[in-house]
A and B are shown apart, each in its own frame.
Chain A
Amino acid sequence: MAALIEVKNLKKYFKSAAGMVHAVDDISFEIQKGETVGLVGESGCGKSTLGRTLIHLNESTGGQIFYDGRDVTTLNKRQLVEFRRDVQMIFQDPFSSLDPRQTVQDIIEEPLHLTGGMNREQIRERTRELMDTVGIEKRLRMSYPHELDGGRRQRVGIARALALNPKFIVCDEPVSALDVSIQAQILNLLMDLQDQMGLTYLFITHDMSVVKHISNQICVMYLGQMVEKSPKDELFERPLHPYTKALLSAIPTTDIHHPKQRILLKGEIKSPINPGPGCRFASRCPYADEGCKAGVTLNEALPGHFVACNKAKEINLL
């Protein structure tokens, strides 16, 4: 299998009054065709920025992004239009990502009108087909977003993303705003679509049980950097980074008879403004020492399992 997306040393910095915000700092990974890579981390760690930079919604500060072997950061305008046909995004908040003054039909049709090549009748037909695919009743064709509940709105967002037959979709917290009973409906839909259309996903979330359910590979981010990257089962069975360990131990479980031993982190998250060298997790890490201030790199600690921690060997007795 070939990598559909390959990211090399990607950086995205933002200017702020206080200095440079290192939102995404030197991140490398790849996504195989037809696979789902889950991207997890706390709010503000740069997950969404990474997703947006990946499909060139943000200009990157440095590094390269290869889509199907071509470097996206060097594409000209015309090539970008083509690229954007293939990559789409599903947003977190189905309440603000849909135009309140457009009907469901208008929203789904818009990308079809923009790219051209279809007449009115074909567009109508395609829209009907898409509504069917994502499970929106035909009678809602002329409804406005405010008339729909969260689950249906998210379905409209998915239909719009699918309109141009994309190959790669960045799903940015697509179920975080939904209730569990509805969340399960949308997760099932996304997985069915992947099977039917061979889609490739980058799935951004902060919910560990959701990411475990949907992903093949998982990347864990902390303050703009990738701290661990591994196949799904391996990560849950054998987390190597102290942050991942704490994250997994903090997931509330519904098993009332076997309460988990939680690793409680002390301290607060460091500021992403001019963070300087050294491990960014060190201020909260129970194992940190002087050596951690020098810097860390992402290394392959076990086959296919990468971790950015100087003390990973020591902590995990590898």
Chain B
Amino acid sequence: MQDKMNQASLFQVKNLTVEYHSGDSIIHAVSGVSFDLQPGETLGLVGETGAGKTTIARASLRILPEYSVERVDGEILYNGEDILKMNDAQLRKLRGEHISMIFQDPMTALNPVKTVMSQIAEGYKEHHKCTQAEANRRAIEMLEMVGIGADRANEYPHQFSGGMKQRVVIALALACSPKVLIADEPTTALDVTIQAQVLDLIKGLRNELGTAMILITHDLGIVADVCDKVCVIYAGRIVESGTKEDIFDHPTHPYTQGLFAALPDLEHDVPRLKPIEGLPPDPSQERRFCDFLDRCPHRCRACKAFAKDSMIEVSPGHYSRCWRTGSEEA
């Protein structure tokens, strides 16, 4: 994944590092993350709480909380232009029109004192030279696309259920037909039957509009359903990346394997689950060796000789950050 990135990428993250300060310590939230995205492709970022998924998403739109960010390094290229170097005017143009985001919690992502139509129209008007009436028409069109009737366009967010609110958020994110959509746990706050509706909607719209998507989730089932490519993130680093088939058919990094093993299986009954022992490392500590070392069932002394900055190519396009990869059945 590292060196075959080419100019054709629509969206590309190179060596992204984000650090926060918290009290006297430095939190290493994201370390050296790289990936790329082609038009129409869906990339899944999978990992546990605190792995750095949302930080990557927020960095991509430059909406990290400024007061706590210590350092942002690397490049985030959209059509070859570095988002991290853009000025305010460029950012304003970028956000919403080229890259937009679906936030995790639909309850807090909407403005409670504006009707849903005016919220969607506002963004559209900002990016297009058009009249209010045209913007309103676009808003109604978007609402209808996500299955909300025009008769409800003048209602306020609190009048909608959770699933409908999330659909409003999706309509809002897609109103300007962005080229890249970042969906940060778009269905985590929803029930499974509603989740199925929303995922179908996102898939349909993606196919219709050809939007490239970064889907952030901790649910491997959702990744299996929606994504083409997957990056597994652990403690701020990508530990394994590849196509969906690579990751699901041949999980190679011990962490990825552990994640699959820890899931209760609907098809086969097992008397005991296999948890990953231990806890994720403290993000304020600088670690010299593999981040997963303390929890890894395969750890041995040789692990401390391996530079954790390099990834090993398992097969073309499938990378793993474990030195045992390929040397034997890890």
Within 8 A of A (CB), among B286-325: none
**What is the chain A residue whose CB lies nearest that of B255?**
A181
**What is the chain B residue whose CB lies nearest that of A187?**
B273
Asked if A256 CB lies within 8 Å of chain B CBs, one says yes
Cα–Cα, bound, A58→B275 (Å): 35
B249 to chain A, nearest CB (A): 8
* Given A184-B274, A254-B224: A43 and B266 interface contact (C-beta under 8 Å): no
B235 to chain A, nearest CB (A): 12
A17 to chain B, nearest CB (A): 14
B274 to chain A, nearest CB (A): 7
Asked if A262 CB lies within 8 Å of chain B CBs, one says yes
Residue pair A256, B245 in contact (C-beta under 8 Å): yes
Cα–Cα, bound, A212→B265 (Å): 9
Residue pair B263, A209 in contact (C-beta under 8 Å): yes
Residue pair B276, A256 in contact (C-beta under 8 Å): no
* Given A188-B272, A206-B192: A268 and B245 interface contact (C-beta under 8 Å): no
Q: Which of the 9-residue segments B21-29, B72-80, B83-91, B215-223 touches chain A?
A: B215-223
Q: Which of B196, B221, B245, B277 contacts A254 (CB 8 A)?
A: B221
Asked if B111 CB lies within 8 Å of chain A CBs, one says no
A58 to chain B, nearest CB (A): 23
B16 to chain A, nearest CB (A): 23
Contacts of B277 in A (CB 8 A): 185
Mark each residue of chain A from 221 to 258: 1 if its CB lies under 8 Å from any CB of chain B, else 0. 00000000000000010000000001101111111100
Q: Which of B196, B258, B262, B273 contacts A264 (CB 8 A)?
A: B196
**What is the chain A residue whose CB lies nearest that of B227?**
A256
Residue pair A181, B262 in contact (C-beta under 8 Å): yes
Cα–Cα, bound, A150→B279 (Å): 10
Residue pair A187, B264 in contact (C-beta under 8 Å): yes
Asked if B197 CB lies within 8 Å of chain A CBs, one says yes
* Given A180-B218, A185-B275: A251 and B266 interface contact (C-beta under 8 Å): yes
Q: Which of A187, A188, A247, A255 contacts B193 (CB 8 A)?
A: A247
Residue pair A254, B260 in contact (C-beta under 8 Å): yes
Cα–Cα, bound, A252→B270 (Å): 19
**What is the chain A residue whose CB lies nearest that of B260?**
A254
Residue pair A254, B220 in contact (C-beta under 8 Å): yes
Contacts of B191 in A (CB 8 A): 42-43, 206
Asked if A213 CB lies within 8 Å of chain B CBs, one says yes
B298 to chain A, nearest CB (A): 16
A150 to chain B, nearest CB (A): 8
Asked if A123 CB lies within 8 Å of chain B CBs, one says no
Residue pair A253, B221 in contact (C-beta under 8 Å): yes
Residue pair B221, A252 in contact (C-beta under 8 Å): yes
Q: Which of A182, A208, A252 contacts B275 (CB 8 A)?
A: A182
Asked if B155 CB lies within 8 Å of chain A CBs, one says no
Contacts of A151 in B (CB 8 A): 279
* Given A184-B275, A254-B220: A213 and B264 interface contact (C-beta under 8 Å): yes
Contacts of A269 in B (CB 8 A): 161
Asked if A298 CB lies within 8 Å of chain B CBs, one says no
**What is the chain A residue whose CB lies nearest that of B199?**
A252
Contacts of B221 in A (CB 8 A): 251-254
**What is the chain B residue whose CB lies nearest that of A185?**
B275
Contacts of B265 in A (CB 8 A): 209
> What is B's interface to A at a CB cutoff of 8 Å?
48-49, 161-164, 191-197, 199-200, 218-222, 224-225, 244-245, 248-249, 258-260, 262-267, 269-270, 272-277, 279
> What is A's interface to B at a CB cutoff of 8 Å?
42-43, 149-151, 179-185, 187-188, 191, 206, 208-210, 212-213, 236, 246-247, 249-256, 259, 262, 264-265, 268-269
- 7 closest A-B pairs by beta carbon, nearest first, are A252-B221, A184-B275, A181-B276, A184-B273, A42-B191, A213-B264, A179-B48
Give me 20 other A-B pairs in contact (C-beta within 8 A), A181-B258, A253-B225, A256-B245 excluded. Answer: A42-B194, A179-B49, A179-B218, A181-B275, A182-B279, A184-B275, A185-B275, A185-B277, A188-B275, A208-B266, A209-B263, A210-B264, A213-B270, A236-B266, A251-B192, A252-B220, A252-B225, A253-B266, A256-B224, A265-B193
